[in-house]
Amino acid sequence: MTPRPIIIDTDPGTDDAIAIWLALASPELDVLGITAVAGNVPLALTERNARQLCELAGRSDMKVFAGCARPLLRPLVTAEEFHGENGLGSTDLPQPTMPLQPGHAVDWLVDTLMAAGDGEITLCPLGPLTNIAMALVKEPRILPKVREVVLMGGGFFEGGNITPAAEFNIYCDPHAAYTVFSSGVKLTMMPLDVTHQARTNRDRIAAVRAIGTPVGVAAAAMMTSHGAHEEADRDKDGGPLHDPCVIAYLLEPNLFGGRLCNVQVETGSEVTMGMTVVDWWGVTDGAKNCTVMNRIDADGYFALITERLARL
C-alpha cells in the first residue's frame, strides 16, 4: 500500500503534539513536511516545538518550516492559558538540534504542491489557517493539487471555546479561514462538536503513560496539562483532545461520522467573528463545501493513539 502523502500545518500546542506523533508513527502516511504557524503560542515557539517533537520521536530528518508569524489582518491572539507559556504544557523537551528548514513555509507549500500530481497531497491544518490561505492566494494553481484539506477547527451546535461563537483556530485568523472555506478545495472539518466528545480521562491518560517511552510519558503529561485547562467541564473527566482527530480520520475514517454541508465563516461582526456557520439542516442552497464531523468512537480513537504512540 502506498503511503498517503500529507503536510501537517500546526501551532504546537499540546494536542498538536499528539497529532504529530500519531502521524509519524503511522506507515499509512508519508509526512512530506511540517509547517509551523503562529497560534497557540508565537511562531518562534511553534516552530521550535515542532522540531522538539520530531526529535523526541526519533525523526530529526523531518523537514520543519516556519510560516506566518501573525494572522492575515488581525493581531495575533495566543492561548498560553491552555497550552502553557512554552506551548507544550508543563513538558520541557530538550532544545532541538535538528535545523529549521531555510525559506518560508508558504513558499515550500506552493513549490511542493506545484511539483505534485493533481489530487496528490492532503493538507492537515491543526492551527490557524494563515499559511494555507497565503499559499492559495500566492499561487491559486495549487488548488487542483490538493487531494483534501482535513482540518481541526470550528464548531456549530457546540458553540465556541475562545468566544461564545468561535473556536480558536478559526477565530485566530478568520480571514484566512474565509479564504480556505471559499476556495473550492475539498474540505473535511473536525469541529468542537466532535472533539468535545474525545476527552482525556484518567484511564486514557494512564494507558498512554503506561507506554513508558519518552513519547508516551511526554504525551501523558501533555494530555494531563490539556485536561487541566482546556474546556474541562466540571462534569466531564478531562479535556477534549482536538487535533489528533485529523490524523485519526486519515487512518481510520470509520471512527467518525458527519454530513456534507455548506459552511461559511463570519468576518463581519465582532460578536460572531470567526464563527463557522454550518447549514446542517440544508435550509439554504449554498454549495456543500465541507464534510462536517459530529460523531466519534472515542474509545476507538484513544485506542488508536495509544497503540500507535507505542511504536515511537
Q: Is 39 in the site for ligand RIB (CB under 6 A)?
A: yes
Q: What would the x/- binding string for Ca ion be over residues 104 to 143, using CB under 5 A? A: ----------------------xx----------------
Among the listed residues 13, 67, 128, 227, the single contact to Ca ion using CB under 5 A: 13
Q: Residue 155: helix, strand or coil by DSSP?
A: coil
* C-alpha distances out from residue 134 to 69, 154, 264, Å: 12, 19, 19
Look-up: residue for cell 472515542? 298
Report in angstroms how near the CB of residue 164 gets to ligand RIB at its nearest. 14
Q: At what angle do helices 202-209 and 214-229 cross, to 10 degrees?
A: 160
- Cβ count near 299 (within 10 Å): 12
Report in angstroms how near the CB of residue 262 gets to Ca ion at its nearest. 25
Among the listed residues 6, 7, 9, 11, the single contact to ligand RIB using CB under 6 A: 11
Residue placing its CB nearer to ligand RIB in the complex, 56 or 151? 151
DSSP 60: T
111, 136 contact by CB (below 8 A): no
CA 233, chain centre distance (Å): 22
Nearest one of 97, 256, 123 to 190, comparing CA atoms: 256
Distance CA(125)–CA(8), nearest Å, equals 6
Q: At what angle do helices 130-138 and 105-114 cross, to 10 degrees?
A: 50
Active-site residue (options: 83, 175, 196, 242): 242
Binding segment for ligand RIB among 7-15, 50-58, 88-96, 174-182 (CB under 6 A)? Answer: 7-15
Look-up: residue for cell 500546526? 10
Report in angstroms how near the CB of residue 37 gets to Ca ion at its nearest. 9
Q: Is 9 in the site for ligand RIB (CB under 6 A)?
A: no
Binding segment for Ca ion among 74-82, 86-94, 116-124, 241-249 (CB under 5 A)? Answer: 241-249
Among the listed residues 9, 16, 47, 279, the single contact to ligand RIB using CB under 6 A: 16
For the chain, helix, strand, coil in percent to 5 are 40, 20, 45
Binding segment for ligand RIB among 12-20, 93-101, 173-181, 298-306 (CB under 6 A)? Answer: 12-20
Among the listed residues 168, 181, 249, 301, the single contact to ligand RIB using CB under 6 A: 168
CA dihedral for 24, 27, 29, 32, sign (positive or negative)? positive
Q: What would the x/- binding string for ligand RIB be over residues 148 to 167, using CB under 6 A? A: ----x--------x-----x
Please name the helix (run of DSSP H) or strand (run of DSSP E) that holds residue 66, with its range, or none. Answer: strand 64-66
153, 227 contact by CB (below 8 A): no
Residue in the shown chain whose Cβ atom is closest to ligand RIB: 168
* 82 residue type, one letter: F
Q: Is 25 in the site for ligand RIB (CB under 6 A)?
A: no
Report 220-279 residues binding ligand RIB (CB under 6 A): 242-243
Q: Is 126 in the site for ligand RIB (CB under 6 A)?
A: yes
Mark whether 242 is an active-site residue. yes
Q: Residue 284: helix, strand or coil by DSSP?
A: coil
Q: Is 16 in the site for Ca ion (CB under 5 A)?
A: yes
Report 147-186 residues binding Ca ion (CB under 5 A): none
Q: At what angle do helices 214-229 and 298-309 cross, to 10 degrees?
A: 150
Contacts with ligand RIB by CB under 6 A lie at 11, 13, 15-16, 39-40, 79, 126-127, 152, 161, 167-169, 242-243
The residues that are catalytic are 242
Question: Given the rule CB under 5 A, which residues bind Ca ion?
Answer: 11, 13, 16, 126-127, 243
